[in-house]
């Protein structure tokens, strides 16, 4: 999945963002008919950001709870515990075995999570969420305040924070890995981790989860890659960066697996049960199993604090990307209104998402979080990625796109990337999409089964992002002048070259225009006389006479691009349009939208 979808789509989005210096909405100047794909990405990112920050709030809750001499989920006997609560370590017999059936008991960490943190017993289901948990509400508020302060000045501020949040987790992960593999019984967990179970390959959910894991871990399809690549310099070597990030991400995931499953093996030996009865998927692993494992270690509050601090830094990295994507995309659409007030706009986005996330802080908030997690970025995300891939390669054109990459990097993508972009990546995702629909599995949380109306709501939530694509097509067609039959064809074509956006403002265009010598029907660049018939990656264009002499001052090796500009501010009335040759050195300044 990484080779067929992850790496190629990662490079595609980086290339689009770096070449255009535009966010996920404005980048569809390459083909306005498909602007709805960018809107779908923003809707998905917005939904994910709402519940993702709730997970960060849970992490903050456990982080504060770890600042004690004894972890609160270590023992039974608290007001939230039931008669089923059993401290498994304390119930061993002399042979170190557990005489009781563990399936009929509940660990203290599980009851702490479900009955104290979530207080899920106060809800009868997703239809009756119950009261707001004010401790969770305050943790969610703190999470949004942290995110807002870190994105306050755009990538200039979030970029500095990421230097810490992206590197410090490696130090903690290394400490947890060394501690885990030195525990007795760690080899049981590692053996379970490395042993393949091929029968799971027949489950559609496994493949869907694998694809979504690639998308989540690499950021493919969420618009974040487009957004942050738009701040790169034009000649940044994103080809090298693609392999460094994707392979580094895969290696990190493997190391994290060793760190986690070595501790689970230790738990398996301590409890006398198989590893598969200890391991849990979803939030249970981070908030039930691993906290329980921490209680079995010396200095358990210290290791618990390190673990949840690592989760906090990892979660904030993703949340920064989500919010920066939304803010950048919207400000690119309304630059004159929002760019001078970007900090205020960012604050309003955070406040709105905090209010929408309050339902997740109720007694039944976990049910809503599971619903959002299952449907907000499932098939909708796949449809958006498939549409993006097909629009770039089939509509904008694979040859044009490769020439644009050649303009940036000095070479064209090889056969591997072209084959994946044209066939392998969209075909694989389409097959997974169809398979997931055929083998549809309803959502569930533990033993709770969601009612039919909740399932329908989740499906509609996923379909809403898909419907943004045809809705965007309809809007683009209706806004185009001319006959109705010509509209789709016109909207498939780029309305102007991507490279035009690398000018920071119209004032820069006007200053360049007013300083140009006129009067000669040729164009000169780097000492060469260019013909009136100019070939660009967008196709072949003819400059209408009279064609003024244009001298572009550039450095050797700089690429040029063709930009149609209407000279409303230029006093000479004898020509109405000019094909301006602009050097590629100007990029979106760091910290500026």
Mean per-residue pLDDT, 435-448: 84
According to the model, what pLDDT value does residue 88 have? 63
- The helix/strand/coil state of 232 is coil
Q: Which helix (H) or strand (E) is 101 found in, with range?
A: none
Q: What is d(CA 590, CA 157) in angstroms, rounded to the nearest whole number?
A: 10
According to the model, what pLDDT value does residue 465 have? 92
Contact 565, 587 (CB under 8 A): no
pLDDT > 90: what percent of the chain?
Answer: 32
HSE (side-chain half, CA atoms, 13 Å) at 393 = 21
Residue whose C-alpha is closest to residue 215's, from 378, 68, 416, 423 = 378
Does 115 have pLDDT greater than 60? yes
pLDDT, one tens digit per residue, over 56-70 is 999 999 999 999 988
Dihedral, CA of residue 168, residue 169, residue 175 and residue 180, to nearest 10: 180
Contact 548, 519 (CB under 8 A): yes
Burial class (CB in 10 A: 0-12, 13-18, 19+), 213: middle
Q: What is d(CA 314, CA 291) in angstroms, rounded to the nearest whole number?
A: 18
What is the b/e burial string over 341-367, where b = at least 16 CB atoms within 10 angstroms of the residue's CB?
A: ebeebbeebbeebbeebbbbbbbbbbb
Does 537 have pLDDT greater than 50? no
Handedness of CA 408, 412, 417, 423 (dihedral sign): positive
**Whose structure tokens read 């067929």?**
4
Mean per-residue pLDDT, 32-47: 92
- The helix/strand/coil state of 399 is helix
Q: What are the percentages of helix, strand and coil residues in the chain, rounded to 5?
A: 65, 5, 30
300 assigned to a ligand binding site = no
Mean per-residue pLDDT, 522-548: 35
According to the model, what pLDDT value does residue 217 have? 84
| 73 or 210, higher pLDDT | 73
According to the model, what pLDDT value does residue 566 have? 32
93 assigned to a ligand binding site = no
Does 55 have pLDDT greater than 90? yes
Which DSSP category does 68 fall into? S
Mean per-residue pLDDT, 203-217: 78
Does 142 have pLDDT greater than 60? yes
Q: What is d(CA 144, CA 56) in angstroms, rounded to the nearest whole number?
A: 9
| 275 or 422, higher pLDDT | 422
According to the model, what pLDDT value does residue 166 have? 78
Contact 347, 148 (CB under 8 A): yes
**Ramachandran angles phi, psi of 116, nearest 5°:** -105, -55
Residue whose C-alpha is closest to residue 107's, from 304, 260, 296, 262 = 296
Q: What is the mean pLDDT of the chain?
A: 78
Q: Which helix (H) or strand (E) is 169 found in, with range?
A: helix 168-181
pLDDT, one tens digit per residue, over 342-355 is 889 999 999 999 99
- The helix/strand/coil state of 220 is coil
Q: What is d(CA 557, CA 583) in angstroms, rounded to the nearest whole number?
A: 10
Contact 230, 18 (CB under 8 A): yes
Q: What is d(CA 316, CA 312) in angstroms, rounded to the nearest whole number?
A: 6
Mean per-residue pLDDT, 21-38: 88
Mean per-residue pLDDT, 284-311: 87
Lowest-confidence pick of 150-164, 275-289, 480-494, 523-537: 523-537
Mean per-residue pLDDT, 331-339: 85
Q: For residue 415, how many other CB atoms are within 10 A of its CB?
A: 7
Residue whose C-alpha is closest to residue 260's, from 296, 282, 286 = 286
| 130 or 158, higher pLDDT | 130
Burial class (CB in 10 A: 0-12, 13-18, 19+), 326: buried
Report the topology of domain 5-84+105-476. Amino acid/polyamine transporter I (1.20.1740)
Mean per-residue pLDDT, 422-435: 90
Does 150 have pLDDT greater than 70? yes
586 assigned to a ligand binding site = no
Contact 209, 201 (CB under 8 A): no
Measure Cα distances from 408 to 65, 96, 392, 557 in Å. Answer: 50, 64, 17, 10
Q: What is d(CA 297, CA 304) in angstroms, rounded to the nearest whole number?
A: 10
Residues in a beta bridge with 449: 444
CA 472 to chain centre: 22
pLDDT, one tens digit per residue, over 442-483 is 888 888 899 999 999 999 999 999 999 999 988 888 877 655
Mean per-residue pLDDT, 20-43: 89
Q: For residue 581, how many other CB atoms are within 10 A of its CB?
A: 21
> Which parts of 436-506 are beta strand (E)?
444-445, 448-449
Q: What is d(CA 54, CA 136) in angstroms, rounded to the nearest whole number?
A: 8
**Whose structure tokens read 């609160």?**
72
According to the model, what pLDDT value does residue 490 have? 52
Q: Which two tokens stand for residue 481?
A: 């002048």
249 assigned to a ligand binding site = yes
According to the model, what pLDDT value does residue 593 have? 40
**Ramachandran angles phi, psi of 85, nearest 5°:** -65, 135
Contact 425, 197 (CB under 8 A): no
According to the model, what pLDDT value does residue 423 have? 93
Does 492 have pLDDT greater than 60? no
Q: Which two tokens stand for residue 135?
A: 């401790």
According to the model, what pLDDT value does residue 157 have? 64
According to the model, what pLDDT value does residue 541 have? 35
Q: Which two tokens stand for residue 563?
A: 């930009």
Long-range contacts, stretch 101-107, CB < 8 angstroms, 24+ apart: 102/271, 102/273, 102/277, 106/82, 107/288, 107/292
Residue whose C-alpha is closest to residue 31's, from 449, 387, 446, 435 = 387
Residue whose C-alpha is closest to residue 227's, from 330, 345, 349 = 330
Residue ranges covered by each domain of the chain: 5-84+105-476
Which DSSP category does 202 fall into? G
Q: Is the peptide bond before 61 cis (omega within 30 degrees of 0)?
A: no
Mean per-residue pLDDT, 30-56: 92
pLDDT category at 493 given cuts 50, 70, 90 is low
pLDDT category at 491 given cuts 50, 70, 90 is low
pLDDT, one tens digit per residue, over 499-515 is 433 333 333 333 333 34
Q: What is d(CA 388, CA 401) in angstroms, rounded to the nearest whole number?
A: 13
217 assigned to a ligand binding site = yes
What is the b/e burial string over 16-29, where b = at least 16 CB atoms within 10 angstroms of the residue's CB?
A: bbbbbbbbbbbbbb
Q: What is d(CA 485, CA 467) in angstroms, rounded to the nearest whole number?
A: 22
Q: For residue 388, how many other CB atoms are within 10 A of its CB?
A: 28
């Amino acid at each position: 999945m990484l080779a067929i979808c992850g790496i190629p789509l990662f490079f595609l989005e980086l290339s689009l963002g770096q070449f255009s210096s535009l966010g996920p909405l404005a980048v569809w100047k390459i083909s306005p008919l498909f602007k709805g794909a960018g809107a779908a990405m923003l809707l998905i990112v917005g939904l994910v950001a709402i519940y993702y920050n709730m997970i960060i709030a849970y992490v903050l809750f456990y982080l504060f709870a770890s600042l004690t001499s004894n972890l609160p989920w270590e023992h039974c006997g608290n007001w939230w515990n039931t008669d089923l609560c059993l401290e498994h370590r304390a119930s061993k017999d002399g042979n170190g075995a557990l005489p009781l059936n563990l399936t009929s008991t509940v660990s203290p960490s599980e009851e702490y999570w479900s009955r104290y943190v979530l207080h899920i017993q106060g809800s009868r289901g997703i239809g009756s969420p119950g009261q707001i948990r004010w401790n969770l509400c305050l943790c969610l508020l703190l999470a949004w305040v942290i995110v807002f302060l870190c994105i306050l000045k755009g990538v200039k501020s979030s970029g500095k924070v990421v230097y810490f949040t992206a590197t410090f987790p490696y130090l903690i992960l290394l400490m947890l890995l060394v501690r885990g593999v030195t525990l007795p019984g760690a080899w049981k967990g590692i053996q379970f981790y490395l042993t393949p179970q091929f029968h799971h390959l027949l489950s559609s959910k496994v493949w869907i989860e694998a694809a979504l894991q690639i998308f989540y871990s690499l950021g493919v399809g969420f618009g974040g890659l487009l957004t942050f690549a738009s701040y790169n310099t034009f000649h940044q070597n994103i080809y090298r960066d693609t392999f460094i990030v994707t392979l580094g991400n895969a290696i990190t995931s493997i190391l994290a697996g060793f760190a986690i499953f070595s501790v689970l093996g230790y738990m398996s030996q301590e409890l006398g049960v198989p590893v598969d009865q200890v391991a849990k998927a979803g939030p249970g692993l981070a908030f039930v199993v691993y906290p329980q494992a921490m209680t079995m270690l010396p200095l358990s509050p210290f290791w618990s604090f390190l673990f949840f601090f690592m989760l906090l830094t990892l979660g904030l990295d993703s949340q920064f990307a989500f919010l920066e994507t939304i803010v950048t995309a919207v400000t690119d659409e309304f630059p004159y209104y929002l760019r001078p007030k970007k900090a205020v706009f960012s604050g309003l986005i955070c406040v709105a998402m905090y209010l929408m996330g309050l339902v997740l802080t109720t007694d039944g908030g976990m049910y809503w979080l599971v619903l959002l997690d299952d449907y907000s970025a499932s098939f909708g995300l796949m449809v958006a990625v498939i549409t993006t891939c097909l629009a770039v390669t089939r509509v904008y054109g694979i040859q044009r796109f490769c020439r644009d990459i050649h303009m940036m990097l000095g070479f064209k993508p090889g056969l591997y990337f072209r084959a994946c972009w044209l066939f392998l990546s969209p075909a694989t995702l389409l097959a997974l999409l169809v398979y997931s629909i055929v083998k549809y599995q309803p959502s569930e949380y533990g033993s709770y089964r969601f009612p039919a109306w909740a399932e329908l709501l989740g499906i509609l939530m996923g379909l809403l992002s898909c419907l943004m694509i045809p809705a965007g097509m309809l809007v683009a067609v209706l806004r185009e002048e001319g006959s109705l039959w010509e509209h789709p064809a016109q909207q498939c074509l780029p309305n102007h070259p991507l490279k035009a956006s690398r000018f920071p403002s119209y004032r820069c265009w006007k200053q360049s225009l007013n300083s140009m010598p006129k009067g000669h029907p040729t164009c000169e660049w780097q000492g060469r006389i260019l013909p009136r018939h100019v070939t660009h990656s967008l196709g072949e264009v003819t400059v209408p006479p009279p064609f003024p002499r244009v001298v572009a001052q550039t450095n050797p090796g700089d690429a040029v691009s063709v930009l149609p500009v209407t000279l409303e501010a230029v006093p000479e009335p004898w020509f109405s349009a000019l094909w301006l040759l602009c050097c590629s050195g100007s990029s979106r300044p760091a910290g500026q939208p």
